[in-house]
Structure 1
Amino acid sequence: MTSAIEASERLIELVRGNDDIANHADGCDAEMLAAAERELGVAFPPSYRRVVEEFGTWDIAGEEFLGVYQTGAMGRKLLGSVTETLDARDRYGMPSDLIGVMFDGMGGLIVLDSSQVDSGGDYPVLVWNPGVTDRRDMERLGEDFGSFALSLCSRAVTRWRESS
């Protein structure tokens, strides 16, 4: 079984090895990551932290991740996971121990649940929909971010390549 961090490293290789169908920013330094965690009031799990550190934000073969990044137009404001998570908390009552990492395409957010930490420090991946507060009502997509994202992106790249 691949660890969550190993899966994140393989995901980084997948994105870099498919630069014709992938995009990414320049990554996040330790200061930006610490600021993001302070704003959210929760630490990023190691596998998510690793990919955000490498890319900031990224997409591959149609799978787009929020990440953490800044733009010239928005200045020092932290965009991506930070703004979308805080917005979902403020507007829709998303629990404060969830971190949004993707949109699910159907009105919900794919989130990391920091209330359930595994032995490697990672969090499970769930689908959160506005108004849902009971974890039993949330679909569980994976045991950790690295494994979930690698599997999702590997399938997307395969589909993309086969359809080309």
Structure 2
Amino acid sequence: MLINKAFEIIEDHPDDADFIGEIKEQIIDSAESELNVKFPMSYRLFLKKYGLGDIFGEEIYGLGVEENGVPSMTWITKQFRQEEGLPNHLICFYSTGYDGVYFCLDCSNVQNQYDDNAKVVSFVSGLPIEEQKFEVEAGSFGEFLLNTLQESMED
């Protein structure tokens, strides 16, 4: 699985990684209920093992902090839903750091915690929702994380 390869990179670079740590299953379930989505398996595994944090300067939003701002995935997702009309099946988990571009998981096809069929799509903050292209950036969270870590190691 791609997510396991990404986890190996994280484990192999502890000095470059800063993650909050393990999140209990009931907190993950509660976040799903709050956002009215099911998280894909690879993102659930990430949340369960790392919660949120960064490595090589790449910040991955998740769970495990007070819900008062980034890097809380629930906070930023609810903000974008309320203020910019982000569709309810998307959850925001990453900022590219330029031009208001964020990456979201499209949870519309995720039926249960064993599904990993949520594509990573782009969302541009400030762009009217009818003009959003929601371009596919990766086939899954695991693919996204692995690619991002591999590219960051090369820089």
Shorter-chain TM-score: which interval? 0.7 to 0.9
Quote how far apart the aligned CAs of 1:116 are.
4.2
Deviations 1:60-114 (A, max 9, x none): 111110011124xx69x9x611111001101111111101010122213200111
The equivalent residue for 2:47 is 52
1:95 has 2:87 as partner: yes
Amino acid at match of 1:140: V
Quote how far apart the aligned CAs of 1:56 are.
0.2
- Counting only pairs closer than 5 Å after superposition, residues 64-103 of structure 1 correspond to structure 2 as 64-71=59-66, 80-103=72-95
- Contact in 1 for aligned 2:47/2:62 (Cα 8 Å): yes
Deviations 1:97-155 (A, max 9, x none): 101010122213200111245994320001112323577x1221011110111111111
Gaps of 5+ in 2: none
| Equivalent in 8, 15, 23 of residue 13 of structure 1 | 8
Deviations 1:3-28 (A, max 9, x none): xxx11111112111101111111121
Where in structure 1 do 4 or more consecutive aligned residues deviate above 6 Å?
A: none
Report SS of the residue matched to 2:75. helix
**Cα pair distance change 1:91/1:30, threshold 3 Å:** same
Amino acid at match of 1:20: D
Quote how far apart the aligned CAs of 1:53 are.
0.6
Q: CA RMSD in A?
A: 2.4
- Contact in 1 for aligned 2:107/2:118 (Cα 8 Å): yes
Gaps of 5+ in 1: 1-5, 160-164
Larger Rg belongs to: 1
Q: Distance in 2 between matches of 1:33 and 1:116?
A: 18
TM-score with structure 2 length normalisation? 0.86
Q: Distance in 2 between matches of 1:134 and 1:65?
A: 26
